[in-house]
Homo-oligomer: A and B are copies of this chain.
């Protein structure tokens, strides 16, 4: 019987592990789940037909998924699990991690005969519930192909490059999110201060060349409504823009706009709060302009 493990039952992990469980039910396998807080694993088992497991039991899995806040958390879990791992296992890390960590984690696990792939996802909680996430995979092509069929939570699977490339693309994507969101906030705050109707302005922009996911979706749904629902934290976005900057530095590149927005995102995380929704970074833009975006 094929055994798969899933570690990290956060907002994303719960539906991702559930998708794996549905897939296992169809193919005659089983899914072990683990979480720092054991009761979350038990609740998941009760609701989705997975099995809460100890670290020792997890070592029996031939395929291990992690989906944790940061690469440091993955390092910690690897440390706890290391001695229980069996050769031939594949470790797929869906964390929005750091390319440097991907290299060191892969090297460390290879000493145990375990292969590591970086496989961050996008699509948010809705995408996870619909098993329609986009997965960006970094690692050797043959290893990527070997797991492609196992990513039951994915709607789109893209092999973007070698080890670390998945994390790099994810970090750049999130940095572009930060840039597009912040810049749109600047433009709207200023237009609003000048008396322009912001709903009308967004209608125009979204039919024009300046549109982005930020203007089409995030700002209308989260900012204009003043709801800022906390789905993806500002502190985590700041972590990702920081990783993007590390990617820039690693190739001795020059990215002045990503660099500035990384700094502003960190400032917003500090001034507005790291646990606020990432769209709440526009509250700092509002304070800088003494003008609400509404």
Measuring CB to CB, which residues of chain A are less than 8 angstroms from any residue of chain B?
A: 99, 122-124, 134, 136, 155-156, 158-162, 165, 168-169, 172-177, 179-180, 182-184, 186-191, 193-197, 200-201, 203-205, 207-215, 218, 238, 242, 244-264, 266-267, 270-271, 287-291
| Pairwise interchain contact A180-B256, C-beta atoms closer than 8 A | no
Complex formed: what's the CA distance from A261 to B186 in Å? 12
| Pairwise interchain contact A270-B254, C-beta atoms closer than 8 A | yes
| Pairwise interchain contact B250-A255, C-beta atoms closer than 8 A | no
| Pairwise interchain contact A196-B290, C-beta atoms closer than 8 A | no
When all copies of this chain in the complex are counted, the total is 4
Q: Is the interface of A mostly helix, strand, loop or mixed?
A: helix
Nearest B residue to A178, CB-CB: B210
* Extra contacts besides A179-B257, A211-B213, A238-B252 (15): CB < 8 Å: A122-B208, A123-B208, A156-B204, A156-B207, A160-B204, A165-B191, A176-B215, A180-B183, A186-B248, A209-B218, A254-B270, A256-B260, A256-B263, A267-B288, A270-B288
Contacts A176-B183, A182-B257, A260-B257; A204 near B169 (Cβ below 8 A): yes
Shortest distance in angstroms between A132's beta carbon and chain B's nearest beta carbon? 9
Nearest B residue to A171, CB-CB: B187
Nearest B residue to A165, CB-CB: B196
| Pairwise interchain contact B174-A210, C-beta atoms closer than 8 A | yes
Shortest distance in angstroms between A144's beta carbon and chain B's nearest beta carbon? 11
Q: Chain B contacts of A247 at CB under 8 A?
A: 190-191, 194
| Pairwise interchain contact A252-B266, C-beta atoms closer than 8 A | yes
| Pairwise interchain contact A259-B260, C-beta atoms closer than 8 A | yes
| Pairwise interchain contact B160-A197, C-beta atoms closer than 8 A | yes
Nearest B residue to A253, CB-CB: B190
Q: Chain B contacts of A271 at CB under 8 A?
A: 287-288
Q: Which of B168, B187, B189, B209 sits near A244, CB closer than 8 Å? A: B187
Q: Chain B contacts of A184 at CB under 8 A?
A: 176
Complex formed: what's the CA distance from A193 to B267 in Å? 14
Complex formed: what's the CA distance from A159 to B257 in Å? 32
Q: Which of B99, B124, B257, B289 sits near A264, CB closer than 8 Å? A: B257
Q: Which of B155, B186, B214, B252 sits near A258, CB closer than 8 Å? A: B186
Shortest distance in angstroms between A228's beta carbon and chain B's nearest beta carbon? 16
Shortest distance in angstroms between A153's beta carbon and chain B's nearest beta carbon? 14
